[in-house]
């Protein structure tokens, strides 16, 4: 887990340099930042996306290449998550080598439509393997960043657009098609393009595209500021970064050819780590950064978690910072519980629970998976969360069995005002589940109950990943309420797990 870095302040001044926009006064450095602090991107969530890509490749001939079913299945997975998170998604099709390829474009509603910040990664892999590092890693990292934007209900100054490219491996085909077919009036609105291609290499280097040209040829004006923003994150975690050339070997190529500022991060491919680099970053000198580059062994095992985590957090930092100072003015927090200490939750409050195992408790949840499906997650932050049986080990040992388990907060006295509850949650289950299984979160007041979340199970594998549920609690203003959580493995027995973390109630 990385050290939380200061909220991006002075972003407007940085942005003015980057985007040539009229310089606006940077937010007062003495006052509170108006930019919501860039979030930590949960590595478990990024890995859950990679597990999906691995499963897709396994189920589709071992790859996710252009023109093969595994590519379109990968795109459909990414699109489904983005649609559920409130993005406006578009599939752009093209033909190459006699096969149909697809780009996925996702716009986050809001922001200045004349100032677009794009973030992209190629979603295709080579035909010889699953392409998990190249480039499931970049695709998963920007997907989780996009989902974090949604969880934060971010309101950046810039309009945020994300892209997953097809047929990069055949020569940047999808990204070139996009740039060549975007009207010049639209192209001119793109003020920066961030590219992430291989960000989890097993013997990782930490490279940033040489935007300022300090090591040779730089990018278009504005690329230096993108490089310095990405570097700033790594400086904040004391990880040295080296330049990698803007050599056009990835999807930033079509953008810089049209003069659009670009930048990105890279953990290395077939090149070999030097002795000096191994002393700087660890790993093995003389070995390739990714010895499975373009090979069948580029599987879920071909990822360095630390590199993937650091790069995912750097991507979020850059999107928040370069997205502009809009941010989300934080409301006043009137109640919060990160489950690090006992704030008076009561299990089985009505004495009617029927679950025989996997009962709700506050504890240090151990992550569990079953053949690639994440079922239980470690706490979203710290060491505490609400979870259906914290113990890990055999995923079938402490899952919910036998019916319903519930847990209820202590009374919460709410002030007057516009009140919003937010809570992180996940539900994980195998395909032996059904709609009779569920996770539910309700707020119970003296005159009624509001349902915050009611997520049913289904007869499919559902990989657990942290999501956020919100609800307007203004109707409870001035009253005393309790949060009531219940989950069930009902009907026929199945493998079901649930967890919650980071409850907040804010007043705006
Ligand atoms: N062309 C990429 C791998 C790659 C090689 N050099 C760089 C530099 C920056 C990003 C990516 C790459 C691929 O095989 O997808
Ligand atoms: Ca992280
Ligand atoms: Zn790649
Ligand atoms: Zn490649």
- Which protein residue has the closest C-alpha to ligand 1 atom 6? 249
Coil/strand/helix, residue 133: helix
pLDDT of residue 37: 75
Atom of ligand 1 nearest to the CA of 293: 14
Q: How far is the CA of 357 from the centre of ligand 4 (A)?
A: 46
| φ, ψ dihedrals at 16, nearest 5° | -60, -40
The preferred substitution site among 196, 219, 250 for testing ligand 1, maximizing ligand atoms within 8 Å of CB, is 250
- Residue of 492, 426, 428, 436 whose CA lies nearest to 461: 428
- Which protein residue has the closest C-alpha to ligand 1 atom 8? 249
Looking at all shown ligands, the one closest to residue 252's CA atom is 1
- Residue of 134, 86, 78 whose CA lies nearest to 102: 78
The residues whose Cβ lies within 5 A of ligand 3, an ion, are 134-135, 197
The preferred substitution site among 197, 208, 245, 267 for testing ligand 1, maximizing ligand atoms within 8 Å of CB, is 197
pLDDT of residue 374: 87
* Residue 474: partners with Cβ closer than 8 Å, 6 or more residues away: 417, 418, 419
Q: Where are the domains of the chain?
A: 43-323, 333-507
pLDDT of residue 299: 98
Block means of pLDDT (10 residues each) for the chain, 508 residues, are 38 37 31 58 96 98 98 98 95 98 97 96 98 98 97 92 98 98 96 98 98 91 92 90 92 96 97 97 98 98 98 96 67 84 96 97 93 88 92 92 97 87 93 96 95 95 85 91 97 95 86
Q: Is 333-507 assigned to CATH 2.60.120.200?
A: yes
Q: Is 172 in the pocket of ligand 1 (CB under 6 A)?
A: no
Q: How far is the CA of 240 from the centre of ligand 4 (A)?
A: 25
Q: What is the fold of 43-323?
A: Aminopeptidase (3.40.630)
Instruction: Name the DSSP class of 427.
Output: E
pLDDT of residue 36: 62
The answer to pTM > 0.85 is no
CB 304 within 8 A of CB 267: yes
Q: How far is the CA of 503 from the centre of ligand 1 (A)?
A: 41
pLDDT of residue 30: 32
Q: How far is the CA of 308 from the centre of ligand 2 (A)?
A: 8
Q: Is 195 in the pocket of ligand 1 (CB under 6 A)?
A: no
pLDDT of residue 268: 98
pLDDT of residue 448: 93
pLDDT of residue 330: 52
Give catalytic status of residue 168 as yes or no. yes
């Amino acid at each position: 887990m990385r050290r939380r870095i200061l909220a991006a302040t002075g972003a407007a001044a940085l942005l003015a340099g980057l985007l040539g926009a009229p310089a606006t006064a940077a937010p007062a450095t003495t006052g509170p930042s108006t930019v919501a602090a860039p979030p930590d991107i949960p590595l478990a969530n990024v890995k859950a996306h990679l597990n999906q890509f691995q499963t897709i490749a396994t189920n589709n001939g071992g790859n996710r290449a252009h023109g093969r079913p595994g590519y379109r299945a990968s795109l459909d997975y990414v699109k489904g998550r983005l649609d559920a998170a409130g993005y406006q998604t578009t599939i752009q099709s093209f033909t190459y080598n006699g096969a149909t390829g697809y780009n996925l474009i996702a716009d986050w509603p809001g922001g200045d439509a004349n100032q677009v910040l794009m973030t992209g990664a190629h979603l295709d892999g080579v035909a010889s393997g699953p392409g998990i590092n190249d480039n499931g890693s970049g695709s998963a990292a920007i997907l989780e960043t996009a989902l974090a934007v949604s969880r934060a209900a971010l309101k950046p100054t810039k309009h945020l657009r994300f892209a997953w490219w097809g047929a990069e491996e055949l020569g940047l085909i999808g990204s070139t098609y996009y740039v060549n077919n975007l009207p010049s009036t639209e192209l001119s609105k793109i003020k920066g393009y961030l590219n992430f291609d291989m960000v989890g290499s097993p013997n990782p280097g930490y490279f940033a595209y040489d935007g300022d040209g300090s090591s040779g040829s730089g990018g278009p004006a504005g690329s230096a500021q993108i490089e310095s923003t990405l570097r700033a994150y790594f400086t904040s975690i004391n990880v040295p970064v080296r330049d990698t050339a803007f050599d056009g070997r990835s999807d930033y190529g079509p953008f810089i050819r049209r003069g659009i500022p670009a930048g990105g991060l890279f953990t290395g491919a077939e090149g070999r780590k030097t002795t000096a680099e191994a002393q700087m970053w660890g790993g093995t000198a003389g070995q390739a950064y990714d010895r499975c580059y373009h090979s069948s062994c580029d599987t879920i095992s071909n990822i360095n978690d630390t590199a993937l985590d650091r790069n995912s957090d750097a991507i979020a930092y850059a999107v928040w910072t370069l997205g502009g100072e809009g941010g989300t003015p934080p409301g006043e927090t009137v109640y919060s519980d990160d489950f690090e200490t006992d704030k008076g939750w009561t299990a089985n409050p009505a004495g009617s629970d029927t679950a025989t195992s996997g009962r709700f408790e506050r504890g240090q949840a151990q992550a569990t998976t079953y053949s690639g499906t994440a079922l239980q997650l470690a706490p979203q932050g710290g060491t505490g969360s609400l979870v259906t049986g914290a113990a890990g080990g055999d995923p079938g040992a402490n899952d919910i069995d036998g019916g319903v388990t519930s847990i209820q907060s202590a009374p919460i006295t709410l002030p007057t005002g516009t009140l919003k509850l937010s809570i992180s949650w996940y539900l994980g289950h195998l395909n032996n589940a059904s709609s009779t299984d569920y996770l539910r979160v309700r707020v119970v007041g003296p005159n009624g109950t509001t349902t915050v979340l009611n997520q049913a199970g289904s007869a499919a594998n559902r990989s657990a990943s942290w999501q956020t549920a919100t609800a307007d609690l203004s109707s409870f203003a001035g009253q005393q309420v309790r949060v009531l959580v219940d989950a069930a493995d009902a009907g026929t027995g199945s493998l079901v797990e649930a967890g919650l973390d980071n409850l907040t109630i804010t007043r705006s």
